[in-house]
Amino acid sequence: MTPRTDPLTLEVVELIGTVVARYHEEYEHAAAEHALTGAQARVLGLLAREPLPMRRIAQRLKCEPSNVTGIVDRLESRGLVERRPDPADRRVKLAAPTEAGRSTAEELRAALGFAREPLGGLTFAERTVLKELLRRMLGMDAEDDTEDTAGAAGTDPGEGSAPLR
C-alpha cells in the first residue's frame, strides 16, 4: 500500500519500462521480418504450442472474440493457419498452424533473441537471482516451483537461490 517513491525504486521502475520498450521493439521487428503484425505473430505463437478454439485465443489476447476472426482470417489466407472442426462440439472451430505456420513460428521464436542474448552477459548465479527476484515481483513466490526448474537444479543452486537476507 505504501507508495514507494524512493530513488532506488524509481530507478528500477524506469529500468523495467526500458525492458518493456525493448522487448516490444524486438518483437514487432521479428514479426515484421515475416510480414506479420504483432497480433498475428502472437496468435501464431500460441497456436504453435497447441490448436485452440477461437474463443480461447480471444481470452489469451485479452480482446473480444470478434477480433480473432479477422486475425485468423489473415493468417489463414497466407496459409499459415487452418480452421478445423471440433468433433466434440460442432459450434467450435479449432485454429491450428499448418506446416508452413509451424516453421514460421519456430523462426519467429528463434529470432526473439531478447533476454536470451543479453542474458548471456550474466553468470548462472546471477540469472538464478534474477529469476527469483522477478518471480517474487510477480507474486509467484514459492508456489508451484516443481516444473522445468528441476532441470537446472543439479548444477549449483547454492546461495543463488537464497532469499538474500
Q: Which helix (H) or strand (E) holds 162?
A: none
The b/e string for 21-57 (b: 16+ C-beta within 10 A; e otherwise) is: eeeeebbeebbeebebeebbbbbbbbbbeebbbbebb
Decide: is 9 part of the binding site for a copy of itself (CB under 8 A). Answer: yes
Residues 86-145 that bind DNA (CB under 7 A): 86, 89-94
- Given a copy of itself, DNA, none, residue 119, with its beta carbon under 5 to 8 Å by kind, binds a copy of itself
**Segment lying near DNA (by CB under 7 A), choices 17-25, 59-67, 96-104, 136-144:** 59-67
| Rg of the chain taking only CA atoms, in angstroms | 20
Q: Using CB distances below 5 to 8 A depending on partner kind, what does residue 89 bind out of a copy of itself, DNA, none?
A: DNA
CB within 8 Å of 26: residues ≥ 6 apart? 112, 113, 114
Instruction: Indicate the residue among 38 and 158 with the shorter CB distance to DNA.
Output: 38
Identify the bridge partners of residue 84 per DSSP, sorted by sequence position: 94
CA distance 30 to 116: 14
Which of DNA, a copy of itself, none does residue 92 bind to, with CB < 5 to 8 Å depending on kind?
DNA
Q: Is 33 in the site for a copy of itself (CB under 8 A)?
A: no
Interface residues with a copy of itself (CB under 8 A) are: 1-13, 15-20, 22-25, 62, 110, 114-131, 133-139, 148-149, 151-152, 164-165
